[in-house]
Chain A
Amino acid sequence: MPDFEPITGRYLSIPLEGKPHRIFVEEAGSGIPLLCLHTAGADSRQYRHMMNDPEVLARFRVIAFDMPYHGRSTPADGWWLAKYRLTTAGYLAMIRAVWETLGLERPVVLGCSMGGAIVLKVAAEFQDELTGIVGLESSAYAPGRYNELLHHPAIHGGELAASYTYGLNSPYSPEASRRENWWYYSQSGPGVYQGDVYFYSIDWDGREDLKRIDTNRCRVALLTGEYDYSCTPAMSESVAAAIPGSRLTIMKGMGHFPMIENYPGFRPYLLQALDHVAA
């Protein structure tokens, strides 16, 4: 028998901004839906370790999708006439479209980096329909990552995006895993990482939204890496301080991409966070 992993990948049509979008969705496990959001300029492969973890899969139906323009998802018809710019409203609508199309009941939504940012908005808007959120490297306001050279005709955008984000990994994470994430980053389309960072560093400001999150209705767990310089521990601490009842853990020796840069190191923190939100 071939040694297949338990992950199944399929293509799904979701309605978004009045147009059908063909997106790639992969999943494994059964139980509480756990919808996972990848980082800027990356794709759902970042969650491959979680989707191969028997202890997680025994309790959760882990679902990850490639956002339009990312990975194996196709941009909507007419993409060549629009500059790619992710916005808070568009990102939220996309997550909701995937959630509704798949018919997920009271999911846990987990996201990292810009995904860790938008899960705060997801919680603020839909807290009565969620089991909880897990924010990895969650910030409510994160200026400073956007720059014009990320999409420039004289620069290899894939190599720059990958190198620009490589140091977001902890220097203590296994090199092979850091390099794997580099490779994923090198594969994003022209301007896609920059368009995502437009959301993360320019459009996104969830500081007021945080105040509406009620952890009696929607449980909140936050995990941030000690070596994350994009969303620093201090930035997540200010998020946690604004959400009474939330649970924040700073992950020693970890960087900005815990689920892919060092899954063995991340796993104990993840299991505790999942226990917290799905208790």
Chain B
Amino acid sequence: MSEYPGSAWLARYRERVNKDPELGVIGDWFTTTFGLTFGDHRYALRVEKGRIAEIVAAPRLDVRMSFGFRAPVEVWRKFLSRDPPPLFHDFFAMLMRVPEFVLEGDSLAAMQNARALHRMMNLMRETSHA
């Protein structure tokens, strides 16, 4: 099974995030490393002041992460679709209503960055449908 959303998408996502004017306004304190797991494929996003400094594919144990989001590929496909179905249109919606979508790790760190994190996650859909 091919990788979803794939390395080319992640590169575009990083580019989209790093030129986002809003994250330039609200991202000053968003510095952490968090994980994104699409089915069997896991990535670590190293974030510095609201910008993605590095994306590490298949991170090993020496890549420390404060938190992460994990879901099967079919859940991510719905979240990233141009017309997301209800309950799949927002990560907080999925955390409440989609059991397969999981927030791993330190939820305090995630919620401390809720505003910038939410923006960054919402940019995923824009990356898919630019």
Contact = CB atoms under 8 A, between A and B. Distances in A.
Interface in B28-78: none
Contacts of B101: none
Contacts of A229: 86-87, 90, 93, 96-97
A162 B108 CA distance: 16
A167 B108 contact: no
Contacts of B9: none
Given A154-B108, A163-B115, A164-B114, A144 B96 contact: yes
Contacts of B112: 154-156
Interface residues of B, number: 17
Interface of B: 84, 86-87, 89-93, 96-97, 107-108, 111-112, 114-115, 118
The interface size bin for chain A is 20 to 34
Contact of A171 (B89, B91, B96, B108): B89
A214 interface: no
Interface in A150-197: 152, 154-156, 159-160, 162-164, 166-168, 170-171
A54 B112 CA distance: 43
A263 interface: no
A162 B118 CA distance: 11
B111 A160 contact: yes
Identify the interface centre among A144, A166, A170: most chain B CB within 10 Å of its CB. Answer: A166
Given A149-B107, A149-B108, A152-B108, A166 B89 contact: no
Contacts of B91: 167
Nearest to A171: B89
Contacts of B86: 226-229, 232
A227 B92 contact: no
